[in-house]
Amino acid sequence: MAVIISALFTYQRTKAKGTDDCLVCHEDKDLVMEVNGKKISLFVNGKEFKKSMHGAIECTDCHQNYKAEEFPHNPKKQEIDCKACHDNVKSEPGNVHNNVKCYSCHSAHNVKSAKELSKNQTDNCLGCHKSKNVQSFKTSIHDKKNVKCSDCHQGGHSVKKITKSESMNSCGKCHAKDQKDFSNSVHQVVLRQGNSKAPTCIDCHGSHKVNSSKIDIESQGCLKCHLDEKMFPGDGKGSTKFISEYKTSIHSIIQKNGKQAAGCTDCHGNHMIQQNDPSRPSTTKSKIFETCGKCHGDLVEKFKGSMHGQEMLKGNDKAPTCATCHGEHNIKSVSLSDEFSKINQVDLCLKCHQEQKLPHKNYKGEDVLISNYKDSYHYIALKNGKNAATCSDCHGSHEMKKVDDPDAKINRKNIPKTCGQSGCHTKQLNDFTGSIHETSLTQKNSPDAPNCSSCHGNHQIAKKDDVNNRIASSKGLVQLCSDCHNSVEMTQKYNIPTGRTDSYLNSFHGLAVRGGSKVAANCESCHGYHNIRPSSDSLSTISKKNLPETCGKCHPGAEQTLFNTKIHITDSLSESPMLYWITRIYIILIVLTIGGMALHNILDLIKKGKKKNKQNENNGEDGK
């Protein structure tokens, strides 16, 4: 009150004539008046006013009908009519600022030009628009890119509110390509059908807090709609139940900086989602290589070269894709989930590769079916909790190739390395490497050289002591080796010594085995099983220097003469004359002995027959 009285006293002495006169009082920062119990500042910064757009006009040009000698100057508040001067300014229809006073944007005394206002437009707008939604613009990607409010809402005196349906055209001014992509998406199709719940730009990206292009799945709102059972009922694809599987998938669980490893947009695209052309959506069979390859490029390249990938590229509808094995939304960790445990992997593969479904070609080019794997030692070991081979261990996971492909893990030449990989039969591989079979297989490229599966089988591999295993008994083992070493075709083709099987079977060892002995030496006992080498090889078990150790397993303490004895004797007269004559004498003695016994018995029978006949004759005469 003291301030007002002081101003009144000053004014009465010198009547106000213009702006400077008004500022005598109004430049006082403490000048206030009370209206309805609220103090209102009447301070005007004279320096700013004189620099403003209105610096050249008088206060009374705007504040008309004010009585300078009265306090307050006007008992009733009067609105300033800017149109009195700015009659060329017109408000466009739909302008949301129609009821907003000019000074709300331009300021009352420090009046700024439109050019000045545009420099700090965001701050000017946010000065009035205090809602949390609008204030969030300061943290948006638009603010970082210096996008202004007027770029979307228009500026000047035609400020418009953007409706949901108008947002696409508004955003399309800058994001033309995205708008075009969106116009072909399933979301746009649903919008055209009149579904008001279909999303537009602002539903996913936000209106003021516009997120960057890599959006967190929760913030972009896909699940907000797609987990609504009323919108997406049922159990099939596209249903809430189907979509919800994503939340427990490895894509959702693994996060970096708060972002999922793969969100909806990574697979489905961001704007061109499930477009009308069925050949183009990113989740179709023809596009899945491209989609999964964004993150898993190395694995996709391997898969493209596999049997599965090649069939898929040919358009085979039965060919599996990434989703066939890994799932769609319910993708699990291969190393951590039960779905991809070794034992469950078998059932996954057999969904396609079991009896009467999809045959495969063996190395001979014959169509065969995967059979008996569940009877194999590998599968039984898996069921007992042991680490044993499953489908992917032998065939590969993504790079499975045909058996005749030189890079295939199951190619004849590669099978030893496949079986001998880390964690499996590494010792056996070390023994097999350098053997006569291995060198024939890998170095000489012999198509008939045996590998692991030649002796052990492939899917039906049995435990060594299993009665169904060919190598479980000595008889079966001898027959297994004889399949090659007693074949006329094989012996002639590879210059293999002939008669080995017959000579063994006629030897003491062979006769004992044929007689049912379980301890007599068979092929494996002398030659070994994996490290089979020619006798000329110093590492061979049948090398002269190693014979004492080899034979000593069964004949401990035997003399040198035993070690020098030949086993496979095909020409006994030249190779072992003593054995030849002993054998002949033995045969002669057997013939003479058995023949003599037979002759003795025959003569005895004849004698007894004659004697009996004579007795019968005598008995007949006595009866007469």
The average confidence (pLDDT) of the chain is 85
- Decide: helix, strand or coil at residue 585: helix
pLDDT tens digit string along 300-342? 999 999 999 999 898 888 889 999 899 898 888 887 777 778 8
- Say whether pTM exceeds 0.75: no
Residue 555: φ, ψ to 5°: -120, 70
> What backbone phi and psi angles, to 5 degrees, belong to 341?
-65, 160
* Residue 549: alpha-carbon gap to chain centroid: 53
pLDDT of residue 572: 62
Give the pLDDT confidence of 36-95 residue by residue, as tens digits.
888 889 899 999 999 999 988 998 888 887 877 777 787 777 788 888 888 888 777 778
pLDDT attached to residue 4: 46
**Bigger pLDDT: 389 vs 275:** 389
Tens digits of residue pLDDT in 471-486? 889 999 999 999 999 9
| Range with the poorest average pLDDT among 425-439, 540-554, 568-582 | 568-582
Q: What mean pLDDT comes out for the span 99-105?
A: 86
Give residue 13's pLDDT: 43
**C-alpha to C-alpha distance for 567 and 546, rounded to whole angstroms:** 15
pLDDT at 512: 93
Return the axis-axis angle of helices 19-26 and 2-13, rounded to nearest 10°. 150
Residues 2-24: what's their mean pLDDT? 59
**% of the chain beyond a pLDDT of 90:** 37
Note the pLDDT of residue 173: 92
Mean pLDDT for 436-445 is 94
Element (H, E) at 225: helix 222-226
Place 219 in a pLDDT band, splitting at 50, 70 and 90.
very low
pLDDT tens, residue by residue, 515-571: 999 999 999 999 999 999 999 999 999 999 999 999 999 999 888 777 777 777 766
Taking residue 71's Cβ as centre, other Cβ atoms within 10 Å add up to 14
Distance CA 10, CA 44 (A): 18
Contact 549, 558 (CB under 8 A): no
Asked if the model's pLDDT at residue 601 lies above 70, the reply is yes
Query: Is 456 a residue whose pLDDT tops 70?
Result: yes
What is the per-residue pLDDT for 448? Answer: 93
User: Rounded to 5 degrees, what are φ and ψ at 32?
Assistant: -140, 165
pLDDT score, position 520 = 94
Cβ neighbors of 475 (< 8 A, separation 6 or more) are: 513, 514
Q: Of 278-282, 356-360, 373-377, which range is least confident?
A: 278-282
Q: Which pLDDT band, with edges at 50, 70 and 90, does 186 fall under?
A: confident
Mean pLDDT, rounded, for 132-138: 92
Cα separation, 6 vs 14, in Å, equals 13
Predicted pLDDT at 92: 74
Model pLDDT, residue 570: 66
> For residues 441 and 413, is the Cβ–Cβ distance under 8 A?
yes
Rounded to whole angstroms, the Cα distance separating 157 from 150 reads: 11
Residue 39: strand, helix, or coil: strand
At 34, the pLDDT band (50, 70, 90 cuts) reads confident
pLDDT at 5 over 50: no
State how far the Cα of 380 lies from the Cα of 378, in Å rounded to an integer: 6
